Structure 1
Amino acid sequence: MADTEVKAGKIYAAISNVMAAINAVGKNQKNQKQGFMYRGVDDVMNALYPALSEYHVFIVPQIIEQKREERRTNSGNVLLYSICQIRFRFYTDDGSYVDAVTIGEGMDSGDKATNKAMAVAFKYACFQVFCIPTVEMNDPDGDTPDPIEPSQEAQQKEIDAANNSPIDKTKISVIRNTIASKGLKESSILEHYGVKSFEAMSFGMWNNAMQLLGKYPDKA
């Protein structure tokens, strides 16, 4: 999970607007050696760019710590292994920001180990800060005429579980600051969703509330 620090300002509303604008990112890339599907960093960038540009959010990375070592494969070849702890600072146009610290691991036989580690850290920082929705690919045997209902049912269960999970302190801080920026009352939001506190709010409620709040103008 990302370790976050915040500086108050427009960044809260900007992030909620980006969240409302982005679409799901599916597992569209295939690992050729091991055959599994994964979500590539290019897919994440392509999904995020229009929303980041529209709502004036940009991301600045800073490597906090890096570890490198050599490992040998079963065939005796040398692989370079890199672990990077990186702070990603999400800015908006008033200078306010949110920090997210994630760890990326990368392995390569040439000079790309650090690049891979940075890409992984960036991808998961974006997934966690923007709560990017995901869609699961079909089974690797998906080209056979198997019925699609089981995979859809499993996908729906995953979505329901995510929507019913409680929100963390960062999301509580985000919604409270957004409510304040709109000049609304916290009690009216809690009453609307039938909860006594933001700690009792589920992710599904929070996500819906942030989308609704994004349609309100900021208070004068």
Structure 2
Amino acid sequence: MEEKKTEKKNIFESIAKVMEDIGAVEKDSTNEQQRFKYRGIDAVMNALNPALVKNKVFIVPQVLERTREERKTAKGANMIYTVLRVKYTFYAEDGSCVEAIVPGEGMDSGDKSSNKALAAAFKYACFQVFCIPTEEMKDPDADTHEESEKIEYATDEMRRKFISECARIGKTKSSILEAIGGTTLAELTVEQYKVAMEGFRKTPDKTVA
């Protein structure tokens, strides 16, 4: 007797079945600084994984765009701010698929800003594609950072002017950079440049013997 083959579900049927199996994802994590509850990426993964496996759905991410900025907190700490534009492709067992493109943002003082941006993008892609029940979605991350400002670096023209002024007063670039709290000419900020220019204006030309 010939065994009857089971028809493979397409992605639209599969997503509907995943939605049935997921249910609600509770807010099981707490932001320690602002004391609000949120749905962590682990909770979303734990709820999704059994439903995805059962219904033979898998997800492939692709980062389409990435922007990174260095910012400073109000206390002067350096933070890396990353924004990713990520495409997630949801595949069913018959090979059919749908795509979702979402942004993700992350901020970290080390090397984890891209990781955080990916986690945020994935979490909200799944929230929206699978319509995961949620009361609100305004608190995406566990971390809360102080308000920060973007660092503006000096232009090539500013650096040339800086070098010219150092030569005019007979001082080395390194000595002036140290005086204004800078490190290297390549990392000269606009704010440091303004401080240096104010000092240059008050300094006479080097006396030629």
| Same fold by TM-score greater than 0.5 | yes
Does structure 2 retain, via aligned residues, the 8 Å contact 1:64–1:87? Answer: yes
The number of residue pairs the alignment matches comes to: 128
Q: Which amino acid aligns with 1:102?
A: V
1:53-111, CA deviations, whole angstroms, 9 ceiling, x for partnerless residues? Answer: 00000000000101000010111000000000000000011111010011010000000
Give me the identity figure in percent: 56
Per the TM alignment, residue 16 of structure 1 is displaced from its structure 2 partner at its CA by 0.4
Aligned ranges 1:104-143 → 2 under 5 Å: 104-134=104-134
TM-score by length of 1: 0.56
Aligned ranges 1:54-65 → 2 under 5 Å: 54-65=54-65
Per the TM alignment, residue 23 of structure 1 is displaced from its structure 2 partner at its CA by 1.6
TM-score by length of 2: 0.59
Aligned ranges 1:15-164 → 2 under 5 Å: 15-134=15-134
Does structure 2 retain, via aligned residues, the 8 Å contact 1:24–1:135? Answer: no
Cα RMSD, aligned residues only: 1.2
The SS at the match of 2:35 is coil
The SS at the match of 2:115 is helix
CA distance in structure 2 between the partners assigned to 1:112 and 1:89 by the alignment: 24
Corresponding residue number in structure 1 for 2:143: none
Which stretch of structure 1 is more off in the superposition, 114-123 or 24-33? 24-33
CA distance in structure 1 between the partners assigned to 2:62 and 2:47 by the alignment: 23
Does structure 2 retain, via aligned residues, the 8 Å contact 1:27–1:135? Answer: no
Structure 1 segments, 4+ long, off by >4 Å, are none
1:19-76, CA deviations, whole angstroms, 9 ceiling, x for partnerless residues? Answer: 0111201211111122221111111010011110000000000001010000101110
CA distance in structure 2 between the partners assigned to 1:21 and 1:35 by the alignment: 30
Corresponding residue number in structure 1 for 2:168: none
Q: Which amino acid aligns with 1:107?
A: M
CA distance in structure 2 between the partners assigned to 1:40 and 1:90 by the alignment: 21
Structure 2 gaps of 5+ residues are 1-8, 137-209
The SS at the match of 1:65 is strand
CA distance in structure 2 between the partners assigned to 1:72 and 1:134 by the alignment: 33
Between the two structures, name the one with larger relative contact order (CA 8 Å, sep ≥ 6).
Answer: 1
